[in-house]
Structures are given as C-alpha cells and as structure tokens.
C-alpha cells in the first residue's frame, strides 16, 4: 500500500508542475541515412479475425468486397500506402502447409488453428489470395516459411511455386491454379520465433536448420530473395551473437520481436495456454499504467542498441539488417471476446506509443530496415477494426492508423539528426519518460518534423532551431483527444483523428519555429526553410 501511495503522489506532483520549454536543434546538413518505407510495414496472421472477417470475406459475401477482399478494409489499406505485409504468421507460420491453401477453394484441407483459439481454418485464404492482395495494394509481400513442422522440400517448392517462370511441374501447377506469371516474392523468412512457438529450439540448433533450409530456397530468374532469419526475443543478445557468428554470410536480415507489455502474467488460459490476466486493459488504465506502458515501449531503443553492438562485431559494414517484424502494445483481450483471438481496442495511448516507436526506428535505419506492427486488422495494436457482432458495419480506423498515415511523409526521406533537451517524468525508481519524443526527415529540400507530447496533463512548448536555416513556413496536423482513454468505435462519432494544427509560430527576427503541443498529442509538420 505504501508503494502505491508513493507512486500516486509522484504522479500528482507531476501534474501540477508547469510545463517547461523543450529545445530541439535539427542538423539537416548531417542527414545521410534514408528511412526505408518498409519501416511502416504491416503484419497479417491467421489469428482471430485478422484474415477472416477482417481482410477476407469471400467473393460471395453480402459484405461489399473486391474479389473477396472486404471493400472498406481494402480501401483503407490502399489509402495507408502499405509498403510491405508479412504473412501467414507469426506462430501460425510454423504449422502452415502452403499446399493446403491452393487450388479450388471447396477442395482445400481444413485444419484446427491450435495456436490461436482452436478455430477451424478452412484455408480459403492462401498463397494466391495473399499475393494477389499485395499486388492490388502495391505492396511487397513478406512470406514466413515453415521450419517448425515443415520440410526442406516443402519450403523449396513454395518458393518455386511463387517465383519460378520455368516450365517445371511446380510452375505449371501455379498456372493451372490461375496465375500465369510468378509473383517474384522478395522477402522470405526462414522460420518464426524458433526460440518459442516455432519449435522451442536453442539457437545453436536453429542456425544449422537455417543454413539447411535456406540453401534450398532458390533464386529464380532475376529475382533475389531477401533472406530473413528467425531472430531474438526482445533483448536476447546471445541468440543474436550465435546467429551472426554462424549465419551472417547466408542472410540479409534477422528478425527481432518486442511487445510493450506491463506484465505477461503467470496464469495461462486453460484452453489456449495463452498468458492472461496481468497485461491490463486497453481501455481502463490509470495514469501510472499509462506511463508504465510508454516507458516499456521506449525500451525498444535499448534493445536496438544492444543488438547493433553485437552485430557490429561480426558485420561492421552493416550488410545484415534488423527486421522488427513484430512490435506493438499487447493488453488483455476485450471482455466477451475469444481469448485466443487477441482482439483489443486502441486508444490515444496507443497513438503515443506508435509515434514514439516510429521516432526511435528512424534513428537506427542504418540497421533497422523493416518493421511490421502487430497486426493489421482486429488483432493487438491494429490499424483497422471490423465488427464481429454486426459484420456489415463500416470498419473503424484506429488512432494508430492515423499516426501511420500522418507519418507517411517520412518514408524514404533522409533522417535528420537532432539534439533534444527536455524534462523527464519519473515513472518509478528506475524508469523515466521524456515529455517529448521527436523525429525529422529531409526530402526534396523539405523537412518533415514529428513531435509526440507524452505528458498526460501538460502542454509543452518546443523551440525548434535548424542549423544554418530560418523557417519560412510550417503547417501540419495534430492527433489528440480530450481524454487519453478516447478511442474510435462502431456506431459513434470518431474521437481520435487528425486535425489541422495551428499552434506554431515563426520568429520574425531569428526564424526559429515555436510549437506548442497539447497534452498527450502527436504533431507532424511540413517545414520549409530559407
């Protein structure tokens, strides 16, 4: 009780302190590293209602669809300009057998999705459906291959099926199933979470498997696979060390997974075995819980630095990329929903986490070349929600969706180094949260500046200086809400969405930009200089 009281008093004291100015100095002359658009990647797993009822409703559905893809979801993804999408898992990938999902849909094999809720999987959404979706969206597919329960031959033939333009039996089978030309899949993962649901392997064992499976995942024609190894769980640098030592010459990237979770919990759901009960609610949380999640999400920077230090020992030229192909917040499922479907709501808190995490990724894109938030529809920190009870209701765009769309301008801009000076909020004895997170990029002579005010209760004024430049104009958008708990839901007016931002001014004499950030907000500005 004493500890709780101390924390409460600490936060109360924070809320009464007047906001201090934040100093930000941008160095556009030092901008060198390009922010890959793949940092804004998505992840679609056969989990809950991500695929079925989310992306895919089938061509005969009464729900408006485009070739079986739910129309409003498809249009929202198209508008989001998704650069890359990972599929079919996740944990599902290592029990997925691709031949179950090709050919006439009525003849496809049914299976039980033992990873996620015991749902019967009818495989009506398979290789053709996923790769055609990516083609229609204009995004790169990222395939996760089955190492945990699949064979080398199975993986090799899947790559051939997707990428070969020869007259082989496998390529002819693809043509018979309706696809003449290969899709030329670029990104290919050899296993997923091999330390856990992908086989519970030790890294010393996995590296041998990786080299074996990877050998037979052939290149076809001019297409070259970007080969991705199953990497570490969070900050497991031993896994990274052995993987880099043994496989660095055979891989282009290695995955890292990290979720912002307060407490994974010790009690498992009796049916699914999924840890439940201690991650907290997505909608009902205290100020203290807010700061704890934000603080937890910021740990991703320490994890990146630790892995980079290991990788630099073996690969100083940075030929091997980090792929954060799973990240995001993870809370208890919404009451009354299947615990194995991982359906959670998304509030303004999630928008803050999304923005500050993307800001961190931008800093390390000399190593971090891709990130795939988990997941795209109806699962964890999703972009889009559809209504399970009334499937024909229009889909809902989450606060995280709006952050991703607002950040689109950073894609393929050069990261602008910066010096940020600001106060910090004391979360507990060991953790602090800076009041502001920032990132800037440069493209075609224009600076895109993103700022997240992580202070729940106070606005903060940011004084922005640009080396050797004066600001000529600045305009942009803000995402905020009256309450950090606000969220978007079915059948009511949208609560969290971008507005035109007007609270910035340019100094007449010094040409500096002053930006006043509302409490718990995300702002992105287009800044032109003279």
> Which residue in 38, 160, 193, 292 is the catalytic one?
193
Of the candidates 144, 156, 149, the one whose C-alpha atom is nearest the C-alpha of residue 90 is 144
DSSP 19: P
DSSP letter string over 107-165?
GPPPEEETTTTTEEE---S-HHHHHHHHHHHT-EEEEEE--SS--HHHHHHHHHHHH--
Q: By CB neighbour count within 10 A (0-12 exposed, 13-18 middle, 19+ buried), where does 266 fall?
A: exposed
Q: Are 8 and 289 in contact (CB under 8 A)?
A: no
**Separation of alpha carbons 269 and 402, rounded Å:** 33
- For residues 529 and 472, the answer to whether their CB atoms sit within 8 Å is yes
Mention every residue, 6+ apart, whose C-beta is less than 8 A from residue 273. none
For residue 267 the two structure tokens come to: 């009690």
The answer to whether 234 and 285 have CB atoms below 8 angstroms apart is no
Q: Is 326 a catalytic residue?
A: yes
Question: Catalytic amino acids?
Answer: 193, 326
């Amino acid at each position: 009780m004493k500890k709780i009281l101390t924390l409460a008093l600490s936060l109360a004291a924070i809320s009464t302190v007047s906001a201090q100015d934040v100093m930000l100095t941008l160095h556009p002359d030092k901008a060198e590293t390009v922010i890959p658009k793949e940092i804004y990647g998505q992840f679609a797993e056969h989990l809950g209602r991500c695929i079925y009822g989310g992306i895919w409703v089938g061509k005969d559905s009464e729900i408006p669809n485009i070739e079986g893809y739910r129309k409003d979801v498809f249009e929202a993804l198209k508008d989001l300009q998704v650069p890359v999408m990972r599929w079919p898992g996740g944990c599902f990938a290592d029990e997925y057998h691709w031949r179950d999902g090709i050919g006439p849909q009525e003849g496809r094999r049914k299976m039980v999705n033992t990873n996620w809720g015991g749902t019967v999987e009818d495989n009506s959404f398979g290789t053709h459906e996923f790769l055609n979706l990516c083609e229609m969206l204009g995004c790169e597919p990222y395939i996760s291959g089955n190492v945990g329960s699949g064979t080398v031959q199975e993986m090799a033939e899947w790559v051939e099926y997707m990428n070969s333009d020869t007259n082989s039996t496998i390529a002819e089978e693809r043509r018979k199933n309706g696809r003449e030309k290969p899709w030329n899949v670029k990104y290919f993962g050899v296993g997923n979470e091999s330390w856990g649901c992908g086989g519970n392997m030790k890294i010393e064992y996995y590296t041998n498997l990786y080299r074996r499976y990877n050998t037979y995942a052939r290149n076809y024609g001019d297409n070259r696979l970007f080969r991705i190894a199953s990497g570490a769980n969070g900050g497991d640098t031993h896994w990274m060390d052995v993987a880099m030592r043994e496989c660095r010459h055979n891989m282009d990237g290695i995955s890292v997974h990290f979720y912002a979770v307060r407490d994974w919990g010790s009690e498992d759901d009796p049916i699914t075995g999924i840890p439940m009960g201690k991650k907290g609610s997505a909608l009902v949380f205290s100020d203290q819980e807010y700061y704890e999640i934000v603080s937890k999400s910021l740990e991703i920077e320490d994890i990146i630095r630790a892995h980079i230090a290991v990788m630099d020992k073996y690969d100083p030229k940075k030929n091997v990329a980090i792929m954060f192909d799973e990240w995001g917040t993870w809370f208890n499922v919404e009451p009354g929903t299947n615990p194995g479907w991982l359906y959670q709501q998304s509030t303004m808190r999630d928008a803050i986490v999304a923005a500050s995490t993307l800001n961190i990724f931008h800093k390390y894109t000399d190593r971090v070349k891709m990130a795939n938030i988990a997941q795209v529809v109806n699962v964890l920190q999703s972009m889009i929600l559809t209504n399970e009870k009334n499937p024909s209701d229009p889909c809902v765009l989450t606060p995280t969706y709006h952050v991703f769309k607002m950040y689109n301008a950073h894609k393929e801009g050069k990261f602008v180094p910066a010096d940020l000076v600001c106060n910090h909020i004391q979360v507990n004895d060991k953790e602090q949260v800076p009041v502001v997170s920032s990132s800037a990029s440069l493209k075609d002579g224009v600076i895109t500046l993103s700022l997240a005010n992580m202070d729940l209760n106070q606005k903060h004024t940011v004084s922005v200086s640009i080396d050797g430049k004066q600001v000529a104009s600045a305009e942009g958008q803000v995402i905020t809400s009256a309450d950090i708990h606000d969220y978007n839901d079915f059948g009511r007016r949208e609560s969290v969405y971008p507005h035109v931002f007007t609270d910035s001014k340019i100094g007449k004499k010094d040409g500096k930009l002053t930006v006043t950030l509302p409490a718990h907000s995300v702002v992105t500005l287009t800044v032109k200089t003279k």
